Chain A
Amino acid sequence: MAEAKPIAGTRPLAPKPMSPHLSIYRFQINMILSIMHRVTGITNYFGSLILAIWIASAATSEQAFNTVSSYLATPLGLVILIGFTWSVMHHMLGGIRHFVWDVGWGFSKPAVKFLSWATLFGSLTLTAIIWGYALSHWGIR
């Protein structure tokens, strides 16, 4: 931490108190979920590139669209798309959880635990439903 330089002619500041963070906490599911909310937010940020490239290719030419589509349909492409979907669902449910907290609900220990696990399982369930449908649909074409 860089010390704040005292401005000339003023008292020096007292050192700010530091929280003994991270290392002293026992594992809790909600702390993982808190980190996950950031990670998924950042993932979604860069995932938007995929959507932008896809829509731009569709607006460019048949050839560009087919190229991008064929990349997305490779096993790696599908893994990335499924991961992106899960990331969006996780961030969405995490956001709803934050709204519950914003209005002042769900702060008891069991409620926090429940909301955290619900976010995790809910996001996996939604992803499974979406891709179950998408892949069966894709297969039919």
Chain B
Amino acid sequence: MPTTTYRTELKKVRGLGSAIGGPGTDHFWAQRLTAVSNLFVVAFLVYTGLTLAGAPLGEVKAFFGHPFNAIASILVVISTAIHMRLGMQVPVEEYMPHGLKVPFLFLNTFFVIVIAVVGVLSILKLFLGN
């Protein structure tokens, strides 16, 4: 066979890569979807920060006691958590040496879930008033 090929045998057998309707597309799409929602939730996060900068705990409790603020804040957590999880996956996959890749991909998911649960639970507790 005279022609050189850059395709692996496995690639030919499977026919589809990650990019064609596979996890690559899903990752790309979810990253953009949450990038759009992040525009809105980060705007709310900035509003939260400006409202509560230097505020005593009483004001913080009152702020999160409002249903709109509590709902928006939980959306901040969900939207950014998904985006973070997808985003960190990329440098881990690209820069981590072989043996560390999978452990750090696991760690990435664990970290994000812990942050998200802490965030949502804290907001709920403040909303419900203990």
Chain A positions within 8 Å of B, measured between CB atoms, are 2, 4, 7, 10-11, 13-14, 16-17, 38, 41-42, 44-45, 48-49, 51-52, 55-56, 58-59, 62, 65-66, 69, 73, 85, 88, 92, 95-96, 98-99, 102, 130, 133-134, 137-138, 141
Contact = CB atoms under 8 A, between A and B. Distances in A.
Contacts of A2: 98
Contact of A14 (B5, B10, B64): B5
B20 interface: no
A80 to B, nearest CB: 13
Chain A binding surface, main DSSP class: helix
19 contacts: A13-B6, A48-B81, A48-B115, A55-B122, A58-B57, A58-B61, A58-B122, A58-B126, A59-B121, A59-B122, A66-B57, A73-B54, A95-B35, A96-B39, A99-B32, A99-B35, A133-B50, A137-B54, A138-B53
Interface string B55-66: 101001100100
Pairs of residues from A and B, 9 with the lowest C-beta to C-beta distance, nearest first = A59-B122, A14-B4, A138-B54, A59-B125, A55-B122, A134-B53, A141-B54, A65-B57, A52-B118
B109 to A, nearest CB: 12
A11 B126 CA distance: 64
